[in-house]
Structure 1
Amino acid sequence: MEQRIVVGDRLGITIFESAPGGLFFNGIPGEVSGARQVVLPTQTVDQNGMIEVPYAGRFKASGNSPSVLSELIEERLSDRAIDPQVIIGLDSYSANSATVLGEVSGTGSVELSPRGDRLLTVLGNAGLAANETEAVIRLVRDDYIVTVPLRTIINNPAENIYVAPGDTIFVLSKPQVFNALGAVATPGQYTITFAEQSIAGALSVAGGLSSALADRSGVFLFRFENPEVARGLVSDDQELRVTRSGVPIVYQINMSDPNSFFWLEQMTVRDSDMIYVAQTITTELDQFASIVARGRLFGL
C-alpha cells in the first residue's frame, strides 16, 4: 500500500513536459535538466496539509498518496503545460519522525533518533516557544488523544514519555487559571503567572482572607485528582467517582492551626482549582437578619 503524505513531510516534485518550449522551459526557481524537465525546490507540507506548486496553485497534500497528488497537479497544469507528467518523492518519511505543530519555532516534521526520543527532547528540537505556565501539550497517536499541561510533564518524569513514529504533537497556549471565592478580600478568577505557585501564594493574590468575614477553619480546595492519588486519600471500600477530568476531591484546611501554613506552602495551585473560604456563623446570621429586615421593610 502506498504511503500517504502527512503534515511536515518534505516532497521532491519533478515536472516533465513532452516537448521543448512549454510552460517550464523558460524556467522557475529550480534545478533544470535538459529542455523538458524541472525539479522544484523541496516543498514542506504546512500545518494545513497544503503545498504550493508554481502555475498550479495550492493543493491538499496530507491524506493523499504521492501518485494521487501527482495526478491532481497534472490535471491542474494540463491546459498550460505540454502534456505534463509529475513525479513526487518523499524526502522525509514519517515512519522515522513525528510532527510538531503550534507554539514552536520550527513546525513540521522532527526526525526521531534510533535510540528513541522523549517528549521534552522532541519539543526542544522543534524550538518550544510557549510559556511554561500556559503551554498545554496534546499528543495524537492513532485513535488516542491525550492533553497534559507542560508543567506536569516537566515536574513528573513519568509523564515525559517516548514519542512514537507518526505521532502528532500540538503545543497549545492556554492560560492556567484558578478561582478564589467566598470570604477573600478580592474574589475572582486569577491567572497562574509562574510555575510552582503555592496555595498560600494563590490566597495572597486574592488579597488573603477577609478578617471580618472569614472562618479560618473553613478554607476549602476543590480540584480533580487522578484516580491513583484519589485512591490514597479515601478508604479502600469507598467507591471513586471518576469523571473525564479525574476524581473530584475537596480538601479542608484549618488555618487556625499553625501547621496548616506548611501544607499551604508545599501544595501548588493547578489549573481550574477552586479555593473557597467559608464565612463565620456570625456573619451568616447577620446577613440572614439583614435579609429578614429588608423583607419586613417591603411588607414580605
Structure 2
Amino acid sequence: MGSLGMLRLLVVLIVSTTLSGCMITPREGPMSSEIETQSKQEEYVVVDVDASIVDGLSRFNPVGLRKNFSSSRYNAHVSTVGVGDVLSVTIFEADSGGLFSGANGNRAVFPQVAVDRDGSISLPYSGLLKVKGKTPLQVQDLIVESLEGKAIQPQVMVSVVENESNRITLSGDVSKPGLYPLPINGVRLLDAVAEAGGSKFPARETYVTLVRGDRQGVQLLETVIAQPDENVYVAQGDRIYISHDPQRYTVLGAVKKPSVYTFDASSISVLEAIAAAGGLNDNRADATGVFVFRYEDPKILESLNIPHSREVRGKVPTVYRINMQHAKSYFYAQSFHLQDKDSVFVSNAKGVEIGKLLNLINMATSSVKNVAVTTNYIDNLAD
C-alpha cells in the first residue's frame, strides 16, 4: 500500500472511531424510567406522591427531645445536694438548757457547711451525715433524726447557699456560654438558652443537642419553639450545645439554575424549591419525572403502608416521584415539604435523548460526506 493509500485509511479510521465514541450521549442523571427500573437492583423505594402520601407525611410528627427527656411538669427538676455545695443549717430546740442554747436563744446557726468529696457534712452532736443526692428537706429530716435523744425536740432548717453541683453547661453558638445554676422549681430548655443570651443565629439554622448521662437528643431550635412538647425540662448536670448548621437542599437536572440552596424560610416545598432553581427547563425537562431523594425514617414508611427491605444507618433510601403533567400534582408539590439534605432531581425528557441521537446522526452523515470528499481527493492525487 502506498503512502496515499495509508493516508486514506487513516482518515476513515479517525472518523469511524469518533462516531463510535459519540454513540453514548452524555447525561446529567438517569431517565425517569431508569430510576424505577434500577430501584429493584439498588434496593431503594420509589413512592408516587398523591393526596394520601402528602397527608400522611404532614401528619407524621417524629419524636425528638421528648423521646428521651420528659417534658411534663411532674418530672420537673428537684434540687438535690451534691459535692462542693455549701449549706446553711439552723437548729432550733423547744426549750432552753439544751445542746444549742446560747446567746442566740434556743438555736444554733451554721452558715457555711460544705459538702465534702464523699458527699457528707459534719455537724456537732450529729456526726458525719451522708447528704449527697438528697433534697434540702431530706437533709433536714436526717439531721433531726441524728439529734433525737440528744436535743430538746429539735427542728431544723436547711438551705443551699452555694449550689456547685446543681448546674448545667451551655456551650456552642450562644452569646454567654458557661455554667448556670438550676432553680429549685426547674427550668425548661428555651429558658436555659435565653439565660445564656440566646442563639447567635436564626432559630431555623440552629440545632440544640441535649446530653444527659448516656442519653442524647438533637432538635432544630425552631421546632423547640414551635412545639411545646420539645421544650423539655433540663436537669442537674445536663450539657446543652447550640450549633449553627443551616438546612440545605439540592436541585439538579433539567432546571435552569441547578445548585445547593439554603432554607430561607422555616419550610420549603418542592414547588418553591423548583421555582428557586429557575423553574423547569422547557427544552429538556420531563414533567413526569420530578423526584425527591431522601433517607426516610422507616416509621414514616410503615405509617404509609410502604414496604421496604433495606436501611442505611437506620434510614430507608427513598425516592418520591411527582408527575407534574397533572394539574393536581402542583398542589401535591406545594404541600410536599423538603427536609434538610433532600435532593430534588428533574430528569430529561425522552425527546431530548432522541434529539441528541439525531444530532449525532447528522454529525455522522456530515462526517461520511467529508470522508467521501477527502478520499476522492486522495484518489485524484493518485491518478
TM-score class normalised by the smaller sequence: 0.5 to 0.7
**More strand by percentage:** 1
1:243 aligns with 2:312: yes
> Structure 2: how far apart are the matches of 1:164 and 1:201?
41
Residues 93 and 276 of structure 1: CA distance in aligned 2, closer, same or farther (over 3 Å): same
**Aligned partners of 1:118 and 1:161 also within 8 Å:** yes
Map 1:93-132 onto structure 2 (within 5 A): 93-95=164-166, 97-129=167-199, 130-132=201-203
Worse overlay, 219-228 or 146-155? 146-155
AA aligned opposite 2:320: Y
Q: Counterpart of 1:214?
A: 285
Aligned to 1:187: 258
Contact 2:187 2:233 in 1 (8 A): yes
How many residues are aligned here? 214
Other-structure match for 1:255 = 324
How far did residue 142 of structure 1 move?
A: 1.8
Greater relative contact order structure (CA < 8 Å, 6+ sep): 2
The RMSD of aligned alpha carbons is 3.3
Give the Å deviation of 1:270. 1.9
* Structure 2 partner of 1:31: none
Compute the displacement of 1:218 (Å). Answer: 0.8
Query: How far is 1:123 from its partner?
Result: 2.0
Inter-CA distance 244–112: structure 2 relative to 1 (3 Å threshold): farther
- Is the deviation greater in 225-234 or in 207-216? 225-234
Please identify, of 194-203 and 175-184, the stretch whose mean Cα deviation from structure 2 is larger.
Answer: 194-203
Q: Is the 8 A contact 1:231 1:240 kept in 2?
A: no
Cα distance change of structure 1 residues 151 and 170 upon mapping to structure 2, 3 Å threshold: same
Query: Deviation digits for residues 233-288 of structure 1, max 9, x if unmatched?
Result: 334xx345333363322111111112222222223222101000111111122234
Alpha-carbon deviation of 1:135? Answer: 0.7
Question: For the residues of structure 1 that align with 2:215 and 2:292, how far apart are their CA atoms?
Answer: 31
* C-alpha deviation, 1:132, in angstroms: 1.8
Q: Is the 8 A contact 1:217 1:253 kept in 2?
A: yes
1:74-93 equivalences in 2 (<5 Å): 91-93=162-164
Q: Structure 1 residues 146, 241: closer, same or farther in 2, change over 3 A?
A: farther
Counterpart Cα distance in 2 of 1:289 and 1:4: 81
Percent same amino acid at aligned positions? 33
Shift of residue 291, structure 1, vs aligned partner: 5.8
Name the TM-score, length of structure 1 as normaliser.
0.61
Specify the SS of the correspondent of 2:345: strand
- The structure whose residues are more often helix, as a share, is 2
Q: TM-score under structure 2 normalisation?
A: 0.49
1:94–1:109 CA contact under 8 A, matched in 2? no
Larger radius of gyration: 2
**Contact 1:98/1:168, CA 8 A, preserved across alignment:** yes
Q: What is the Cα deviation at residue 157 of structure 1?
A: 4.2
Q: Could you tell me how far apart the structure 1 residues matched to 2:226 and 2:363 are? A: 53
What letter is aligned with 2:195? N
* Counterpart AA for 2:285: A
On the 8 A contact 1:230/1:249 being kept in 2, the answer is no
- 1:146 is displaced (CA, Å) by 3.2
How far apart in 2 are the matches of 1:154 and 1:288? 55
Query: Which shows bigger deviation, 181-190 or 278-287?
Result: 278-287
Shift of 1:207: 0.6
Offset of residue 122 of structure 1: 2.3
Specify every segment of 5 or more residues in structure 1 that has no aligned partner in the other structure, as ranges. 10-64, 66-89
| Contact in 1 for aligned 2:298/2:314 (Cα 8 Å) | no
In structure 2, stretches of 5+ residues that fail to align are 1-81, 86-116, 118-160, 372-383
Which residue type is aligned with residue 197 of structure 2? Answer: G
> Aligned partners of 1:292, 1:145: CA distance in 2, in Å?
61
- In the alignment, structure 1 residue 227 sits paired with structure 2 residue 301: no
Amino acid across the alignment from 2:222? R
In the alignment, what sits opposite 1:139?
A: 210
